[in-house]
Amino acid sequence: MSTDKVQPEPLLYRKIPSVDEALRAAAGLLDVYSRDVLTREIRLVQEEWRRQIRDLGTLPAIEFGDALAGRMTAIEAPSLRPVINATGVILHTNLGRAPLGESEFIGGYSNLEFDLAKGARGKRDVHAAALLERLLGHAAIVLNNNAAATYLVLRELAGGREAIVSRGELIEIGDGFRIPEIMQQAGVNLREVGTTNRTHLRDYEHAINENTALIVRVHASNFRMEGFTSKPPLSEITALARTYGVPVYDDLGSGNLVDLSTAGIEEPIASQSLADGADIISFSGDKLLGGPQCGIVAGRADLVTRIRRHPMYRAFRVDKLILEALERTLRSLYLERYDEIPTLRMLLAPVAEIARRAEAFASGMSVRGLEVVDGRSMIGGGSTPAQSLPTCLLRLPCQDAERAAAWLREREVPIIGRIEHDALLLDLRTVFPFQESALRDALDSLPVELLVPAGGA
């Protein structure tokens, strides 16, 4: 049998309207969009139609004018949209990590780099620096993420010299960010000490030499090593480093500023690292801190000043929207208004509160098979890999859970859940209370053919 592609009928191409014909038919759109914009989009639709004729030998099952109108509607719709995160993953990497509270950003101009008291140029650092110093007790600067912070600290403090790191801390985090490679890019010579599972204080001491610029400790945010493992506490490393006049850099990764042990979460606190003698630390703003994406560097004022004066600082600094969101988050942290920070509110919410919400939600629903079951919420975002929180889940058995999940994602406000054993699982821990009505409406309108029939398993 011949496998040659069937040649389309030439008449099919003639059914594609010309640009002038399409413009005449789209007179209503000309009231909204310029002729040039519509012409560009018409030509793109024409090419899509030609491609389908070439590949499939058929015309699209839609009117040309409707295809054009659909494109214009899609252009008008923002690509970045709010979603309902019902996965139970609090710091969901794909959903923006730390959720921000509802807020209105400053429109128009702002005093980003203007000293209102002096009537002269100022520095953008001041909008977060004072609050960070109150929270950490040390000088601090803000960069666009912790990867940038790590690079700049290494480049400025150890560029062209050696940095000592335990082999067990040569980690890789999301999207291929590897500590050895970032050190290489920063021009730092890596001096590995210890073994993968055990590093002793004497390993650091034996490695220190005249070319040692920095001892680096890296928190393993996204994995946990168990079994026959050991490493010296930070306080012992810093005491040793002081003896030799070598600064210590503690890369904390997720950046916790609050004691979360009451919620059963064990994660190092940034201020404790400084109290234990670290000369410089860095951490993320959009993980356990609960703010926008950024990286924070804090520690000895002279070292922070050096890092800020590095020529690459300007390339890594943050913009006014990040500073505004960060300042708001830091103020709530300092004033211990943790309920104003969605991440902390979700982390600290007791399981009894989640259970009450889930039971109240389910009792008002008529959707077939919906029940409340025990489960676990994940912290996520490369933080606390072995820790989770008890929760109560809404469980909805489905004939086709994948199709049901896709249907929920297609709502005006997309709903993201998780699938387990042919059922949709929805965790209200990560659903804002104001989103519950939209979630309820979506579940009530799920097509019945996607649900398990009455009397089914």
The CB-based long-range contact list for 308-313 (8 Å cut-off, 24+ gap) reads 308/125, 308/141, 310/152, 310/155, 310/156, 312/151, 312/152, 312/155, 313/141, 313/143, 313/152
* Fold classified for 124-338: Aspartate Aminotransferase; domain 2 (3.40.640)
SS (H, E, C) 189-251: EEEEECCCCECCHHHHHHHCCCCEEEEEEECCCCCCCCCCCECCCHHHHHHHHHHHCCCEEEE
Is there a contact between 26 and 18 (Cβ–Cβ < 8 Å)? no
The alpha-helical segments, DSSP class H, found in 81-178 are 126-136, 146-158
pLDDT score of 266: 82
- In the block, which residue shows the tokens 């049901």? 404
CA distance 330 to 333: 5
Q: What is the pLDDT of residues 271-324, one digit of tens each?
A: 999 999 999 999 999 999 999 999 999 999 999 999 999 999 999 999 999 999
Q: What are phi and psi of 18, to 5 degrees?
A: -70, 170
Strand partners, 282: 251, 297
Q: Which of 133, 150, 448, 143 is nearest to 316 (CA)?
A: 143
pLDDT-derived band of residue 267, with 50, 70 and 90 as boundaries?
confident
pLDDT-derived band of residue 8, with 50, 70 and 90 as boundaries?
low
Does residue 350 carry a pLDDT above 90? yes
Strand partners, 248: 215
CA distance 452 to 450: 7
Q: What is the pLDDT of residues 105-155, one digit of tens each?
A: 888 999 999 999 999 999 998 999 999 999 999 999 999 999 999 999 999
pLDDT score of 383: 64
CA distance 371 to 293: 36
Does residue 6 carry a pLDDT above 70? no
Per-residue CA distances from 273 to 184, 233, 367 (Å): 25, 10, 50
Residue type, 243: T
Does residue 437 carry a pLDDT above 60? yes
Is there a contact between 374 and 420 (Cβ–Cβ < 8 Å)? no
pLDDT score of 384: 63
> What is the arithmetic mean of pLDDT over 153-161?
96
pLDDT score of 178: 86
Structure tokens at 78: 């923002």
* pTM (two decimals): 0.88
**Paired sense of beta strands 388-397 and 423-427, if any:** antiparallel
CA distance 248 to 281: 8
pLDDT score of 27: 86
What's the Rg (C-alpha) of the chain?
28
> What is the arithmetic mean of pLDDT over 400-415?
95
Sign of CA dihedral 107, 108, 113, 116: negative
pLDDT-derived band of residue 236, with 50, 70 and 90 as boundaries?
very high
> What is the arithmetic mean of pLDDT over 239-247?
97
Structure tokens at 182: 């970032």
Does residue 456 carry a pLDDT above 80? no
pLDDT score of 222: 62
> What is the arithmetic mean of pLDDT over 390-395?
96
List the CATH code of the domain at 84-95+345-450: 3.90.1150.180
Q: Which of 451, 372, 444 is nearest to 415 (CA)?
A: 444
Does residue 397 carry a pLDDT above 70? yes
Residue type, 97: R
Q: What is the pLDDT of residues 49-73, one digit of tens each?
A: 999 999 898 999 999 999 999 999 9
* pLDDT, greater one: 416 or 125: 416
pLDDT score of 253: 87
> What is the arithmetic mean of pLDDT over 181-185?
91
| ∠ Cα 14 15 18 (to 5°) | 75
Helices 436-444 and 351-363, axial angle in degrees (round to 10): 40
Does residue 457 carry a pLDDT above 60? no
Does residue 5 carry a pLDDT above 60? no
Does residue 177 carry a pLDDT above 90? no
Does residue 428 carry a pLDDT above 90? yes
pLDDT score of 11: 85
Average pLDDT of the chain is 91
